Structure 1
Amino acid sequence: MRGFISKGLQLLLLSLTFTDTSAHSWVEQLTVIAPNGTFVGAPGYPRGNALRTSADYSDKSMTYLATDKLCKDTQQTQTQTAKSPRLQASPGAPIALRYQENGHVTLPDTQKGKPQNRGTVYVYGTTNPKEGEKLADVHKVWNRDGTGGDKRGVLLSTQNFDDGRCYQVNGGPISKSRQAQFPHPADQLMGADLWCQHDLALPANAPSGKPYTLYWVWDWPTARGADPGLPDGKQEIYTTCMDVDVTGGPQTKQLAAAKYIPDQPLNNAAIPAQFAQIMGSSGPSGPRPNPAVRYPGRTSPSVSKPPSSPSRSSPVPSKSFPPPSPRPGATVTSFVTLIRTVAPTGCAPSAAP
């Protein structure tokens, strides 16, 4: 019996490892990041999530090429599927949005004319989502201070699609290099691959007791003149829509001294550079060149600049959050906690009446 179970687990891990390199990407899982950079607590999932363990699972159930509506039809409303609950996090908590690179990072020559950073990921946030949300009303319109477009939301974070260490196991030189540089034990979630992640902080003034909506937008264009089959280039944008249940009183903040633990197990660890950026930032996070990224025979990945915005106050990712319960086996350091009381504020500027 034990041998049968072991064989079944091996087959599952093998199936997770050999992912179709032509597949596209979406947010598979959300998780809270502790002050030491370790994933903690129960994970959350996007709206309308389809579990890979389901008998009728297909990548098409989660892949969404956005052209008009921002969200896939199954993600239009704040609805969760069975065994795929929302993430629960406190105001200001750092979180990781995890996704597979599916060869877009480790096999860069598969598609001509793609950006060196493998595209830019934008994460927008709002307390007032609407069904039928239009891509053109949000993407590169909502800005960091909440004054863009209809002013219902903000641009929380931008990062390179390639986080500098994620990989799909394949025969490409980038994959082989990263497998050697960032080894990890295969597990039932990722298999032998190492998933990418986009680390950011929820707004410190996100209202408690209601969902906070996140729009993950991967901008993956083809440059003009780079592909003979696409002489005019091509806009290609993939999205995932999700919600976080914000918990904890907004009038109390626990200030924890954040210190990333080096060399911790990669299966449950944030990206050090992104984590440092969140915890040391006074505003929404953006992409920075990562010296760990190496493309054989290529220049360093470019970094797309987010749209500029007027100078006004914005939802500020906070260093403060209640320390959640660690996952089994996770190592969490101790922190000195200070309590202070602040007046509640709105999450984003609202439109003028």
Structure 2
Amino acid sequence: MKLYNLCILVTSAVAHSWVEKAILSAQELTGLVGFPRGNVPRESSLFSDDAMTNLLLPSVRKHNVLEESDLICKDTQSTYNYTNGSPALQNGHVTKLHSTPNKASSGLISVYGTANPQPSDTLRGVQEHGQLLSRAPFDDGTCYQINNTPESVRRRGLPQRRHWAFEGADLWCTIAVHLPSDLRKGSTYTLYWVWDWPSSEGGHHMRTEIYTTCLDILVE
């Protein structure tokens, strides 16, 4: 059974996020990197937060109800459509979260997997029938962005894993995902990353706020 790390970089606004990269890891860092479907690199002139963010429920929806028809993948990630320079992974700003308005915690990450993805896959369907591979808080307790908050300073003093070059001085948040041991060589395995991060709307009333990213693993 292989161990994969999905490395998540939180934007400075700490208002939304997505999977930036997937890193192949075993007993040590291998350096193999993969990207989400339809990735728009930050250095691209076409990049924007909206280009990569998939929010459920949509802000325009007045009723706080997740509908059965809500698709789990953003329209630009509903099919296997990798962009130049951002391939699938081949098998071979949490320090400011406490000051984010209306948020009680960093939220919960769930990663589901399937060997038979469909463009019509819904969030409800995957949650109810998908193969849950991993579940953990978004904040892994050690990740940080370089800033002057006391939490960033504190975490920089903690024992750390070796940084990947693309992280720079930051330490990205990660979630470990154990893939099924029976994956066929030459197959493609799809991962659905789901971040459940509800917002308080006063009192005990919470508004559903879920972010998703869809990406694939090429099994060799």
TM-score bracket relative to the smaller structure = 0.7 to 0.9
The correspondence for 1:177, drawn from 154, 168, 176, is 154
Q: What's the RMSD between the two structures over aligned residues? A: 2.5
Write out per-residue CA displacement over residues 278-316 of structure 1, whole angstroms, 9 at most, x where no aligned residue: xxxxxxxxxxxxxxxxxxxxxxxxxxxxxxxxxxxxxxx
Unaligned runs of 5+ in 2: 1-8, 58-69
> Contact 1:47 / 1:80 at 8 angstroms: preserved in 2?
yes
| Alignment-derived partner of residue 63 in structure 1 | 53
Distance 1:163 1:45, change over 3 A: same
Q: Which of 71, 74, 78 is matched with 1:72 structurally?
A: 74
Across the two proteins, how many residue pairs are aligned to each other? 200
Deviations 1:22-56 (A, max 9, x none): 44211111111122xx2204211110011112133
For 2:132, give the aligned amino acid: L
Q: How does 1:24-103 map to 2 (within 5 A)?
A: 24-35=16-27, 38-67=28-57, 68-89=70-91, 102=93
What secondary structure sits across from 1:181 in the alignment?
Answer: coil
**1:58 and 1:188, CA in 2 relative to 1: closer, same or farther beyond 3 A?**
farther
Are residues 1:204 and 2:206 paired? Answer: no
Greater Cα radius of gyration, structure 1 or 2: 1
Offset of residue 171 of structure 1: 2.2
Distance in 1, matches of 2:216 and 2:137, equals: 22
Tell me the CA shift for residue 188 of structure 1: 5.7
Tell me the alpha carbon deviations over residues 113-135 of structure 1, each in whole angstroms, 9 at most, x when there is no partner.
Answer: 423xx111000000111103211
TM-score, structure 2 normalization: 0.81
Q: Which residue of 2 aligns with 1:130?
A: 118
Q: Deviations over 1:173-226 (max 9, x none)?
A: 211111222578987622322100111111001122121000000011124645
Query: Which residue of 1 is the match for residue 209 of structure 2?
Result: 236
Q: CA deviation digits over 1:43-90, x for unaligned, max 9?
A: 111100111121332222111103321111110001110011111116
Contact 1:213 1:241 in 2 (8 A): yes
Whole-angstrom CA distance in 1 between matches of 2:214 and 2:116: 13
Whole-angstrom distance in 2 between the partners of 1:63 and 1:41: 25
TM-score (norm 1): 0.52
Instruction: Measure, in 2, the Cα distance between the counterparts of 1:220 and 1:196.
Output: 15
Separation in 2, partners of 1:197, 1:18: 11
Provide the rounded CA distance (Å) in 2 between the counterparts of 1:73 and 1:245: 21
Question: 1: CA distance between counterparts of 2:10 and 2:198?
Answer: 26
The verdict on how the C-alpha distance between 1:64 and 1:128 changes in structure 2, with shifts beyond 3 A counting, is same
Change over 3 Å in CA distance of 1:233–1:23 after alignment to 2: closer
Whose strand fraction is larger, Structure 1's or Structure 2's?
2
Alpha-carbon distance in 1 for matches of 2:168, 2:183? 35
1:193 aligns with one of 161, 170, 195: 170
Distance 1:242-1:210 versus aligned 2 partners, 3 A rule? same
Alpha-carbon spacing, 1:45–1:112, altered in 2? closer, same or farther (3 Å): same
Structure 1 runs not aligned, ≥5 long:
1-16, 91-101, 143-152, 248-353
SS of 1:107's equivalent? helix
Q: Distance in 1 between matches of 2:164 and 2:180?
A: 32
Q: Distance in 1 between matches of 2:31 and 2:51?
A: 26
User: After alignment, is 201-210 or 119-128 more displaced?
Assistant: 201-210
